[in-house]
Amino acid sequence: MTRLEGKVALVTGAASGIGHESAILFAANGAKVACVDTVKERNVATAAAITSAGGSAISLVADVSKAGDMDRVVATTVEEYGALHVAFNNAGIMHPDDGNAVDTEESIWDLTMGVNAKGVFFGCKYEIPAMLASGGGSIINTASFVAVMGSATSQIAYTASKGAVQALTRELAIVHARQNIRVNSLCPGPLRTDLLMNFLDTTEKKDRRLVHIPMGRFGEASEMAEAALWLASNESSYVTGTDLMVDGGLSAAYVTPEA
């Protein structure tokens, strides 16, 4: 079964990690995919992998933190494919100099918030009108488990940016609920991706994360793509404003339920 047959999807951060795996999976399930990233060569490779497998994809180079870039990629996607039904605002950064509030420089804060939070805002800003014109759709924003419970390894700007994504997602879900637009956040746990492994650059840092995960391992980008596919598909048609925790049980083990 092709779960996204006839759909047009836009995926940011498509050059690597979750974005790459999701673009490939969306296309394998019938979607035409606009792959968006700042890294041209790897983004082109993602689109090429889709087309070589018989799918349809375009590669668009853009900085999600710039309004003009996101306006352009949404407009180009609609021009190329005639609609927009799925948007996965996944692009994000985790800067090695992001630490605690005392040590983190303002420039690192601004850079992280610009990509991780403002990038999602700009995505939604231009994707929503395109989806309204297409009859509705599904927006998925990548947040994180740290938006719910904080991080054992200091990364204050990253954590704050993902909290912003989570709050933005909930509000947009409410605002557009009766316009056939669903908005949900995907909250990955610690993943075995270059982004996190480069940040957790010592065995001590890795072990500090792993000890908190009931499953005892880092997640895979492909597992996040499967969750994103469900949120993108009609199988989640009654799901909006939700933070989907895909974290190996981490949040269940450490977050106290409300009384």
- Per 3-state DSSP, the chain is made up of helix, strand and coil in percentages (nearest 5) of 50, 15, 35
d(CA 39, CA 61): 7
Report yes or no: 224 and 191 within 8 Å, Cβ to Cβ. Answer: yes
Instruction: Kindly state the helix (H) or strand (E) to which residue 139 belongs, with its residue range.
Output: strand 137-142
Instruction: Kindly state the helix (H) or strand (E) to which residue 140 belongs, with its residue range.
Output: strand 137-142
pLDDT tens-digit readout, 203-212? 666 666 777 7
* 158 classed as catalytic: yes
CA distances from residue 36 to 142, 145, 199, 230, 242 in whole angstroms, order as listed: 15, 24, 23, 21, 24
pLDDT tens-digit readout, 23-68? 999 999 999 999 999 999 999 999 999 999 999 999 999 999 999 9
* 8-246 fold: Rossmann fold (3.40.50)
- Beta-carbon contacts of 207 under 8 Å, excluding residues fewer than 6 positions away, are none
> For residue 36, what are the β-bridge partners?
12, 60
d(CA 87, CA 97): 30
Q: Which member of 81, 126, 158, 238 is catalytic?
A: 158
pLDDT at residue number 254: 74
